[in-house]
Structure 1
Amino acid sequence: MDVAALSPVDWLALIQHELLLFASLFFILGALDELAIDGLYALGRVRGRLRTALISRGEVEGRELAGPVAVIVAAWREDDVIGATMRHLLAAWPQQGLRLYVGCYANDPATIAAASRAASGHARARIVIHADHGPTTKADCMNRLYRAIEEDEQREGISFRMVVIHDAEDMVDPAALPLFDAGLARAELMQLPVVPMPQTRSRWVAGHYLDEFAESHAKAMVVRDWLGTGFPSAGVGCAIARGRLAKLDAQSMGQGPFDAASLTEDYELGLKVAEAGGKTAFLRVRGDDGALVATRAYFPHRLESAIRQKSRWVCGIALQGWDRLGWTGNLLDGWMRLRDRRGPLAALVLFTAYLLLMISGALIVLQQLGLARPVPLTPLTETLLIANAFSLAWRAAWRCAFTAREYGMAEGIRAILRIPLSNIIAIMAGRRAVSQYVASLHGGRVRWEKTDHHGHPSIGQRAVA
């Protein structure tokens, strides 16, 4: 090929061909990866190993605990939601063995005031003020709460059996705490599913979380638990044995069981427990009312907030996680970590695919105007395109099915329509995460960015201030 003789249109066709091969090959690799999870999930279902357990809520809810339990909630500028969270939690979990610790900062008087009002009259609630000015990281605030737990144990002569981790916007399930209490006999770390709540004001941005969590916490996490590989904690609806936290604290030389330098301490927590030989369990249970025992919450409804949140996840899991956790474990563990860390590559491949769509559209227009010749496809390219088309339809069907099961068929149909938006958010979050990470390699500091919350499921949606 005489490169010098190529016209601009020929160059465009050449670029289209190369992008087509790149995107198609990586999409096929991703499809095979997901197909393997699909196959394992189907096998587990057929063999009866992945069935969702059923409980009688009347027999479980309110059941007394085998010993004291601490619930920790880190709160920075959460005055809009922390009061509703505390009131709902204390009402849903009336057990006297529970004690709620809410971590606030001295330079955040609004959150302190809201938390104090909610704690008023409740001997089971304690407000802990962080000596450092916020925001630090969620892990740093939880370390302060851990020290408060230690202080209470020493002063009162008590010993907590486990610590339950929640965020300031969570709506807990009444059956969750008794399930954790019973599950502690067989696992040191337990994770409940997370169920994002639909928001009529944000069917698309907030809605795409419905689709992702419905599939991930009904399939991928369940398969990981079945295979016995380490799975990441979600940072909410997570219970960990008190003794395991003490061991993690000792390993850190007294710096605290949660790594304050990590953007995704929740992700690392689950893997660290598994690496140390601790048993983990993903608890997927339904009540006799049909509702999943899970943590429910509103997720970001603005595009900017969703991108910021997901860029923190990508940077912490895919980039920091590679540095901090490496590739220890067996082949199955390596496979799961590879899946966890594919965010930046997935963003690049998705960006390539959308760029390819724009170039292909431009070439079609030029062909209609007689300014370009149709470019024949090779048998390999045709095969890749057909395989990718089937893969896209397959993935859309799975997403629709899982979303429809939790939220109804209307949301299941929307799940298919939300796929392009999910991809765009992934692209923008991936680009932002890589930029932050590269800056950190040149002496910069990866900044922890919290997600803003302006509504709570227990009180309905509120207007954004």
Structure 2
Amino acid sequence: MDAAIAWIDGIARETMLFAAIGFMIGGIDDLAVDLAYIVRAIRMRWRRSGVPVMADFPVATCCGRIAVLVPAWDEAAVIGAMLRATLGRFEHPDWRLYAGAYPNDRATIDAITAVAAQDARVRLVLNPHPGPTTKADCLNALWRAVLADSAAEGRAFTAIVLHDAEDVVHPGELRLYDHLLRRADAVQIPVLPLPDPASRWVSGHYIDEFAESHGRQLPVRDALGAGLPFAGVGCAISIAMLARIAESRGGVPFDDASLTEDYELGLTVRALGGRGVFVRALETPDGPPVAVRAYFPATLGTAIRQKARWMTGIALAEWDRTGWHRGWRDHWMRMRDRRTILAIPVLAIAYIALVTWGIDKALHWWRGSEPASVETGMLWVLFANVALFGWRMAVRFEMVRRAYGRGEALRSIPRVFVGNFVALFAARRAMVRYAALLRGQPVRWDKTAHHFPTDLAAR
């Protein structure tokens, strides 16, 4: 029995050491981003450069022609409502929406056709291949349709905007893109997941992650001048830049071999010397932000599938697809993008350490013996991790509170464990999927089911 307890003592000690050092490295990395965010805020206040408002982007001075691309596979449940809502919301004088579908997805085709028959601004584009292929392949079909219409009509589009079939678009976003693309090659606005009353914890954990990502991390990335990945929705890119990307890829701008073509597209803009910007604008000086809203996966199964796709595409495949880039800023940000898959073993071992320490304490209590004391150096590491975790939760609370209010901010603290649970199982699925891709399995559109809000007036 003594030998078994000594064995458990060793496991508890070594797993705690590994997890503590891993958490400390990640915590310092996050703290560096927080400090950069604080410096950015101080500089903005010093320069008196406030947050832009929609009055700065009047409709009267919009002069571009914008194509909105919405790829769809098996989206009959939401695409019709999304198209109708979009038609009634956008505030821009010259735009057209291209909805992509597949010849073997009759329900989605019918839903798009029903809307297109009532409004000429919606055009159905059929992919020449049966679905599902990849989202990038569907976007390339839409790109070819945009070029064909431009040539036939003798009027070129100036920008492409990307959206998904479940998105609630913001009325002013096309106005904002129109003005900002005059001095930038690409624009990304925030994505704010909609709170789902039926899934406060699973769907809700996306609220916390996007509030931090689009409230803190992307603004820092933009301020540093590092490559800015797209979120796949709420992003616009100039036709000129997209044409340059298409030229470098054999005629199409979206890489149909990529699982995360949106992320990769933003980095490609940077690689070609273009300028991408992240913009947080407000409707009014004290009003809500101009942002894209949508419901995110509400069940553990669908959340794990979506997170696995992101991990496979960004944390695994992008190591060899896009590599690195010149300069410490891009190295740092890309390492942060890819550290997710590296953090999972640390997280898993931390939970093992927690269980093992509990068992160890119980056995020593039962035997009436004293467990081995924790060395002073390890105590300092543990204290530092507690402080870093407390700071991390305070930052998350404030980011969520600013975007959603105190109620969601309070829920964001326990939702950390939901996010960890999803990430652990998503990492396993991502590794299996990536191994299959390395063996030559074709890339497929691994999408999840969506739903569209019925109380749109409140969004």
Bin of the TM-score, shorter chain as denominator length: over 0.9
- Indicate the residue corresponding to 1:161 in structure 2: 158
Matched-pair contact (CA < 8 Å) for 2:54–2:176: no
Matched-pair contact (CA < 8 Å) for 1:75–1:168: yes
Can you give the 5+ residue segments of structure 1 that lack an aligned partner in the other structure? none
- Indicate the residue corresponding to 1:113 in structure 2: 110
Cα deviation 1:399-426 (Å, max 9, x = unaligned): 1111011111111010001011111111
Matched, 1:79 2:42: no
Matched, 1:438 2:435: yes
Task: Write the letter of the residue equivalent to 2:42.
Answer: V
Q: 302, 306, 314: which is aligned to 1:305?
A: 302
Matched, 1:405 2:402: yes
Q: 296, 311, 315: which is aligned to 1:314?
A: 311
Offset at residue 142 of structure 1 (A): 0.2
Task: Write the letter of the residue equivalent to 1:53.
Answer: V
DSSP 3-state at the match of 1:216: helix
Matched-pair contact (CA < 8 Å) for 2:52–2:280: no
Offset at residue 46 of structure 1 (A): 1.2
- Indicate the residue corresponding to 1:93 in structure 2: 90
Give the % identical residues. 45
Q: Distance in 2 between matches of 1:85 and 1:400?
A: 31
- Indicate the residue corresponding to 2:347 in structure 1: 350
Matched, 1:277 2:277: no
Task: Write the letter of the residue equivalent to 1:335.
Answer: W
Task: Write the letter of the residue equivalent to 1:259.
Answer: D
TM-score, scaled relative to structure 1: 0.94
Matched, 1:328 2:290: no
Cα deviation 1:8-42 (Å, max 9, x = unaligned): 22111101111111111111111110111010111
Offset at residue 146 of structure 1 (A): 0.3
Q: Distance in 1 between matches of 2:181 and 2:34?
A: 30
Offset at residue 145 of structure 1 (A): 0.2
Aligned positions of 1:196-275 closer than 5 A: 196-254=193-251, 256-275=252-271
- Indicate the residue corresponding to 1:385 in structure 2: 382
Q: Distance in 2 between matches of 1:135 and 1:64?
A: 41
Offset at residue 454 of structure 1 (A): 2.4
- Indicate the residue corresponding to 2:11 in structure 1: 15
DSSP 3-state at the match of 1:7: helix
Offset at residue 359 of structure 1 (A): 1.0
Task: Write the letter of the residue equivalent to 2:168.
Answer: M
Task: Write the letter of the residue equivalent to 1:105.
Answer: Y
- Indicate the residue corresponding to 1:396 in structure 2: 393
Task: Write the letter of the residue equivalent to 2:34.
Answer: D
State how many pairs are aligned.
455
Aligned positions of 1:11-90 closer than 5 A: 11-48=7-44, 53-56=51-54, 60=57, 62-63=59-60, 65-90=62-87
Check 1:104–1:447 CA distance in 2 against 1; reply closer, same or farther (3 A cut).
closer
Matched-pair contact (CA < 8 Å) for 1:237–1:294: yes
Offset at residue 6 of structure 1 (A): 6.8
Matched-pair contact (CA < 8 Å) for 2:44–2:50: no
Task: Write the letter of the residue equivalent to 1:281.
Answer: V
Matched-pair contact (CA < 8 Å) for 2:82–2:452: no
- Indicate the residue corresponding to 1:127 in structure 2: 124
Q: Distance in 2 between matches of 1:457 and 1:216?
A: 27
Q: Distance in 2 between matches of 1:426 and 1:248?
A: 33
Offset at residue 442 of structure 1 (A): 3.3
Q: 111, 128, 146: which is aligned to 2:143?
A: 146
Can you give the 5+ residue segments of structure 2 that lack an aligned partner in the other structure? none
Task: Write the letter of the residue equivalent to 2:5.
Answer: V
Matched, 1:365 2:379: no
Task: Write the letter of the residue equivalent to 2:119.
Answer: H
448-457 or 343-352: bigger deviation: 448-457
Task: Write the letter of the residue equivalent to 1:294.
Answer: A
DSSP 3-state at the match of 2:290: coil
TM-score, scaled relative to structure 2: 0.95
Q: Distance in 1 between matches of 2:345 and 2:60?
A: 50
Q: Distance in 2 between matches of 1:356 and 1:445?
A: 39
Offset at residue 193 of structure 1 (A): 0.4
DSSP 3-state at the match of 2:412: helix
Task: Write the letter of the residue equivalent to 1:297.
Answer: A
Q: Distance in 2 between matches of 1:364 and 1:191?
A: 51
Offset at residue 65 of structure 1 (A): 3.0
CA RMSD after TM alignment:
1.9
Offset at residue 118 of structure 1 (A): 2.1
Q: 412, 416, 420: which is aligned to 1:415?
A: 412
Offset at residue 443 of structure 1 (A): 3.7
Task: Write the letter of the residue equivalent to 1:113.
Answer: D
Q: Distance in 2 between matches of 1:42 and 1:94?
A: 34
Check 1:443–1:155 CA distance in 2 against 1; reply closer, same or farther (3 A cut).
closer
DSSP 3-state at the match of 1:285: coil
Check 1:445–1:372 CA distance in 2 against 1; reply closer, same or farther (3 A cut).
farther
Offset at residue 290 of structure 1 (A): 1.1
Q: Distance in 2 between matches of 1:197 and 1:63?
A: 31
Q: Distance in 2 between matches of 1:128 and 1:112?
A: 9
Matched-pair contact (CA < 8 Å) for 1:310–1:429: yes
